[in-house]
Structure 1
Amino acid sequence: MPVTVVVGAQWGDEGKAKVIDLLSKEHTYVVRYQGGHNAGHTVVVDGEKYALQLIPSGILYEHVIPVIANGVVVDLPTLFSEIDMLEARGNSCADLKVSSRAHLIFPWHQAHDAIAEAMRGDDKIGTTLKGIGPAYADKARRVGIRAGDVVDPERFATLIRERATAENKLIAEAGGDELDVDDMVARYSEMGARLKPYVAETISLLHNALAGGAHVLLEGAQATFLDLDHGTYPYVTSSNPTAGGACVGSGLGPRDLDRIVGITKAYTTRVGAGPFVTELFDDDGETLGRVGKEFGTVTGRARRCGWLDLVMIRHAVRLNSLTELSLTKLDILDGFDTVKICTGYSYRGETVTDYPDRYDVLEEIEPIYEELPGWKTSLSAARAAGELPAEAKAFIEVVEREVGIPVRVVGVGAERDDYLMWES
């Protein structure tokens, strides 16, 4: 299958990096297609942890050409920090390509992010304050600065000075501290010179690669229910992590997509504010957070935890045309006497079969659970479906029954090889 897309089917943090790392074995190009350094993808290899925010997870394979595509917003200090970290640990980034159409993040974006969030008071969105939303806003306003602009250093410096000067006025009016324009021009001109060798016209690059028989993996950040159009608005990200966004964000067409893999945990987590139907406030929720080590890779914030919500996953299947699921962190449920799966919703006494489109309705939804016996044994050594206890198999079978597509990969630990292939 020449083009595979990996999409988070929940609110992010599903373990996409582990699956991307697994799938990267059979792909030549691994392409990040949206989001910015607000994403955190973690891979553990031989006990070593790699936390990546911008560079595609496939970078850990020598044969992979990593691409940061046009739909991404790029923070240069973060990008170079990642390059330096990877190369210091023996992972070359020489083949990294950054789309000339990718927009860049500047300090004024982060300043606007902080001001806007502070002005919301108790109604904070929970943004990471990394300037992602303002950078996408500038893209929509057609005033953004793109990676391709670094090719002409003089023009790049002029663009920075003009934008920084204009944004300083807005920052001052909003009560923020003005930025040092000269310092910004100097620092970003230096980083622009460093970025220049990585800049490429990635749309032609990817289409030519496909024509030559290469396999391409498209890597999404965040997840379906953080999608700007289809997520739990307004508690969403500023881009489109869904499979449709993979086409827009990479320049590949819909007919190029062959395989669309949805990633879901065996339970549900969410960072920041917003509705969460299956959220737990009891000992079970605390156990999921503690055993699952549920803290944001980027923010360090504790994640809210709840049981697996298959109404959400069914909706994600529809939105993304998912062909299969990867079910991660099944081992986190090892210690439970019983486990629950949400298979339906109740709203004011009526059964709801579709995922609601209104925030106020989601706030009133009650989950309908199917309760299953736990397996009370460690799954960490399982490497084949036949090695799973009957109770764990039953859990996976309920997932497949309810969402209508097969589970293909089951994660049973944090390490790169802690997984098994599932065949129903």
Structure 2
Amino acid sequence: MKAKAIVLSGRAYSGKSTLAKLLAERRRDCLLVRSKAVIEVSLSSVPRDAAGLAKAARRLEADTKGGWLTTSLNEKLLSSAGDLGLVVIDAVESAEQVLYLRRSGWSVTHVHLQASESELEKRSLKNQAGRGRLQTSKAVTRPKAIDALADIADVVVDTDRCSADDVFARVIARMEVRPVTAVPLVDVMIGGQYGSEGKGNIAHYLAPEYDVLVRVGGPNAGHKVFRSGEHPYTFHQLPSGALANRDATLVIGAGAVISLERLLKEIAELSINHDKLIIDPQAMIINNEVDIAWEVAHLKNAIGSTAQGVGSATARKILYRRSDSNVVLAKDVPALKHYIRDSVEYFAECLSVGRRIMLEGTQGTSLSLHHGSYPHVTSRVTTAAGSLAEAGLSARHVRRVIMVCRTYPIRVGDTDTGNTSGPMSQQITIEQISERSGIPLEELKITETTSTTHRPRRIAEFDWAQFRRSLILNAPTDIALTFADYFGVDNRKAYRYEQLTTDTLRFIEEAEKVGGVPVSMISTAFNDRNIIDRRMW
């Protein structure tokens, strides 16, 4: 693959250094090369005064016919242990420098920036005032040869009428597969019931197939994954595939709500490096004293809330949109400064270069704020579309939607005040599940305890009406069926589809008939070989 370079040209104060800085900050694969620094290295034996350097630089330019810059870049390319990525050159001053680079095999995008004489003079005076000196700038009267570079440039931008971000957007678009929104590289995994469908188990299984793992929601959802020889690990903030794929980049989207203590604990326990985690600056931080206390007082008993502060924090983010409010976002937390990055720009980069993304939703469709049984709902939209919106991805990015469903849906258990967590269709007892499946009752009691609040779960027959509604709301391409052993403990010994019990096979056939999509994965147990994979993708 050809090495890629963005070559900048333009007069002083036209915006070249600002653009170069933005490219270096927003593209982690970007190497910034300042031609002035290259000259100083190439002419190390020359006197360091400005006049001496300028004279020697002109001689170097003439002797190499503009090739000195390309020679230096090729040396960097050869000495680089990995992919040099995108090189930004600030700046060139002759057509020969650009031509030499093109002829040497580089993929060059030449960007020329320009502005009116009055605007250049204004910027020059502002810059000098900031440095404590004022004089008429000579920089705006640079040789006309600089202006002539506009004739051979790939992109010419008038910075009089474009902000720095506008210039960045116009330039970076030339380096991306266009349009970036047309590349279907995102797979979305969501719950089709009331949560606790076993999404963590499926995410852990699929994680090695992706370059980027994304999570939205908040700490009110715990996703448990199996660890051979160790206790299971429950993820509350980080994507659940973090243990299964150490090479993946982890992303917490702008719509996420963060418990700072839980997040830092997970980062420490899993030894997540700074370069492997991105947190969007707009993610909301829970205030324990305000948010958790309010939910304990008003929601825990009223609707069976997990009372983790997620709803209260989300409400504050909506209601107190003032500069003097006590809303704290991720960008405001010093402990997170190494992880902060605009996730939307990062996703654009991923889509451009073909990185595969898995978006892990939390909770379940029937808990969705607008589509669940209000008021027994959560504080967010838990559908595939809602998760995409929270992450900062478009539906056009999506390749697959995987809806995870249990054989027997659950909700949080009863409290002293009644069934406060909301209605369920055809509720049954855990004793009945034990009798039907052959799984010991004590084992089921341990399993059917919530991951976050450790409360007992209520359990019900599979709700076909709920299943149909979730299909409509999410339009999944695939179903992942979990807890197949609840149909019969012998399913734990099944490693192929045909080894499942007859009742299980009949159920899957009916689910595919009602859903119109395949049951692509079946989870038979909670161990290191528990997924029967029927995918064709």
Q: TM-score, normalised by structure 2?
A: 0.59
- What is the deviation of 1:268? 1.2
How far apart, in 1, do the equivalents of 2:275 and 2:527 lie?
26
* Structure 2 match to 1:327: 481
- Of 222, 235, 244 in structure 2, the residue corresponding to residue 40 of structure 1 is 222
Percentage identity across paired residues of the two chains: 31
The answer to whether residue 503 in structure 2 is matched with residue 391 in structure 1 is yes
How far apart, in 1, do the equivalents of 2:428 and 2:499 lie?
30
- What is the deviation of 1:197? 0.5
Distance 1:209 1:310, change over 3 A: same
Give, as a single letter, the amino acid of the residue that structure 2 aligns with 1:197.
H
* Structure 1 match to 2:196: 13
* Structure 2 match to 1:209: 350
Structure 1 gap segments, 5+ residues each: 151-191, 336-377
What is the DSSP-based 3-state SS (H/G/I as helix, E as strand, rest coil) of the residue aligned with 2:404? strand
1:11–1:225 contact (8 Å) kept in structure 2: yes
- What is the deviation of 1:417? 2.4
Structure 2 gap segments, 5+ residues each: 1-183, 414-420
What is the DSSP-based 3-state SS (H/G/I as helix, E as strand, rest coil) of the residue aligned with 1:379? helix
What is the DSSP-based 3-state SS (H/G/I as helix, E as strand, rest coil) of the residue aligned with 1:221? coil
What is the DSSP-based 3-state SS (H/G/I as helix, E as strand, rest coil) of the residue aligned with 1:317? helix
- CA displacement, residues 128-147 of structure 1 (integer Å, 9 cap, x when unaligned): 12111110101111253211
- What is the deviation of 1:291? 4.5
Give, as a single letter, the amino acid of the residue that structure 1 aligns with 2:355.
A
**Correspondences of 1:5-404 after superposition (within 5 Å):** 5-33=188-216, 35-48=217-230, 49-60=232-243, 61-87=245-271, 94-107=275-288, 108-117=290-299, 124-141=302-319, 142=321, 143=325, 144-148=327-331, 150=332, 192-272=333-413, 273-281=421-429, 283-285=431-433, 290-292=442-444, 293-334=447-488, 378-404=490-516
- CA displacement, residues 138-181 of structure 1 (integer Å, 9 cap, x when unaligned): 11112532112x2xxxxxxxxxxxxxxxxxxxxxxxxxxxxxxx
- What is the deviation of 1:388? 2.1
How far apart, in 1, do the equivalents of 2:387 and 2:242 lie?
19
How far apart, in 1, do the equivalents of 2:535 and 2:343 lie?
36
- What is the deviation of 1:333? 2.2
1:43–1:416 contact (8 Å) kept in structure 2: no
What is the DSSP-based 3-state SS (H/G/I as helix, E as strand, rest coil) of the residue aligned with 1:197? coil
How far apart, in 1, do the equivalents of 2:281 and 2:218 lie?
15
How far apart, in 2, do the equivalents of 1:270 and 1:286 lie?
18
- What is the deviation of 1:285? 5.0
- What is the deviation of 1:406? 1.1
- CA displacement, residues 110-138 of structure 1 (integer Å, 9 cap, x when unaligned): 122222237xx6xx111112111110101
Answer 1 or 2: which has greater strand percent: 1
Larger deviation, residues 244-253 vs 282-291: 282-291
1:86–1:92 contact (8 Å) kept in structure 2: no
How far apart, in 1, do the equivalents of 2:517 and 2:274 lie?
36
Distance 1:2 1:125, change over 3 A: same
Distance 1:208 1:94, change over 3 A: closer
How far apart, in 2, do the equivalents of 1:387 and 1:212 lie?
41
1:43–1:415 contact (8 Å) kept in structure 2: no
Distance 1:56 1:93, change over 3 A: farther
How far apart, in 1, do the equivalents of 2:378 and 2:307 lie?
12
Number of aligned residue pairs: give it.
332
2:487–2:504 contact (8 Å) kept in structure 1: no
1:32–1:56 contact (8 Å) kept in structure 2: yes
2:488–2:501 contact (8 Å) kept in structure 1: no
Q: Which of the pair has more CA radius of gyration? A: 2
Distance 1:85 1:282, change over 3 A: closer
Give, as a single letter, the amino acid of the residue that structure 1 aligns with 2:253.
A
1:30–1:65 contact (8 Å) kept in structure 2: yes
What is the DSSP-based 3-state SS (H/G/I as helix, E as strand, rest coil) of the residue aligned with 1:267? coil
Give, as a single letter, the amino acid of the residue that structure 2 aligns with 1:313.
F
Distance 1:390 1:128, change over 3 A: closer
Give, as a single letter, the amino acid of the residue that structure 2 aligns with 1:412.
T
How far apart, in 2, do the equivalents of 1:200 and 1:318 lie?
34
How far apart, in 2, do the equivalents of 1:247 and 1:391 lie?
36
- CA displacement, residues 213-270 of structure 1 (integer Å, 9 cap, x when unaligned): 0011111111101111111111111111111112210111121112110000111111
Distance 1:423 1:200, change over 3 A: closer
Of structures 1 and 2, the one scoring higher in RCO (CA 8 A, sep 6+) is 1
What is the DSSP-based 3-state SS (H/G/I as helix, E as strand, rest coil) of the residue aligned with 1:198? coil
1:310–1:403 contact (8 Å) kept in structure 2: no
Give, as a single letter, the amino acid of the residue that structure 2 aligns with 1:244.
A
- What is the deviation of 1:282? 7.2
How far apart, in 2, do the equivalents of 1:280 and 1:252 lie?
39
